[in-house]
Amino acid sequence: MSTEEKVASHYTHGSLETAILQTLAENGKDIENLRTSDLAGVDEFHLGRHAATVEFARDLHLAAGVRLADIGSGLGGPARHFASAYGCTVTGIDLTEEFVQVANSLTARCGLTELVSFRQGSALSLPFESGGFDRATLIHVGMNIEDKAMLFAEIRRILKPGGRFGLYEIMQMREGALPYPMPWAMTPETSFVCGQESYRHLLEEAGFVVELEQDRSALAIRLMHEMRAKAAAGEGKGFGTLMGPRASERGANVNMSVESGLIAPIEIIARAV
């Protein structure tokens, strides 16, 4: 089994849409007429959740008519926010077929199919024409990709000159072994976390100029504390089960690693030259 097949298998749930819709209904949502806000807590599993997506989007200078490729789009939460808040057209691509199916279904239930769509594919061989996009995003994806040079070269290929590439990635900030399981990998076999300097170098090699770098740890830690308080109060019941096996252990490991400074969620905005 290839690394990509192992990664896709890691994220495959088997009955994810059913589980999501059941949990939403139990929380009082109208599953036939969803709003993007109804999906908060279920469709954005990156550190900082929706609050981080909002800050990230502001730095991308989005607007109506902008074409954006969301690489590793998951369940589509960020893509739907980009479209609903700014009116841009978003095409998401993800390795996991089940994620693609659920992302398209949730988008239809939110009435956003004219602006947002998803397809299955590899970030290392993007099924898009060269120079077809104004923006590209990568949100908590690089941890599962070893060949980041190829990844960035492909993203540069599909961007117009002057287009912006936004990353919001987990990066290693100091020496130390990561505790597993993590949300993105049960073992180190499919985990390829690296440092900020490596990202910066590989982006420059691929034809980008880095314009902005921000450590979003403070936001992520604040949200962690808020989520713990909500869980203790019995709020948001049921969403944790959507993460799959050993969800609480995986969440605790990544939270501990961020709070100790071992890893951090780093935002980078780079311009294609």
pLDDT tens profile 96-122? 999 999 999 999 999 999 999 999 999
Question: For residue 18, what pLDDT is reported?
Answer: 92
Question: For residue 236, what pLDDT is reported?
Answer: 55
Q: Which residues pair with 272 in a beta bridge?
A: 208
Q: What is the mean pLDDT of residues 131-145?
A: 98
Full 3-state SS string of 18-29? HHHHHHHHHCCC
Domains and CATH numbers, the chain: 3-272 (3.40.50.150)
Question: For residue 42, what pLDDT is reported?
Answer: 85
Distance CA 154, CA 156 (A): 5
Question: For residue 150, what pLDDT is reported?
Answer: 98
Q: ∠ CA 151-156-159 to the nearest 5 degrees?
A: 130
- pLDDT band at residue 134, thresholds of 50, 70 and 90? very high
Q: What is the mean pLDDT of residues 221-243?
A: 72
DSSP code, position 179: P
Distance CA 137, CA 72 (A): 9
pLDDT at 238 over 70: no
Distance CA 208, CA 156 (A): 8
Question: For residue 136, what pLDDT is reported?
Answer: 98
237 vs 144: which has the higher pLDDT = 144
Helix axes 217-232, 247-259, angle to 10 degrees: 140
* Strand-strand pairing, 159-172 and 263-272: antiparallel
pLDDT at 179 over 60: yes
Distance CA 87, CA 89 (A): 7
Residues 138 and 208: beta-carbon distance below 8 Å: no
Question: For residue 247, what pLDDT is reported?
Answer: 85
DSSP code, position 13: -
Question: For residue 242, what pLDDT is reported?
Answer: 64
pLDDT at 1 over 90: no
Question: For residue 241, what pLDDT is reported?
Answer: 56
pLDDT at 176 over 80: yes
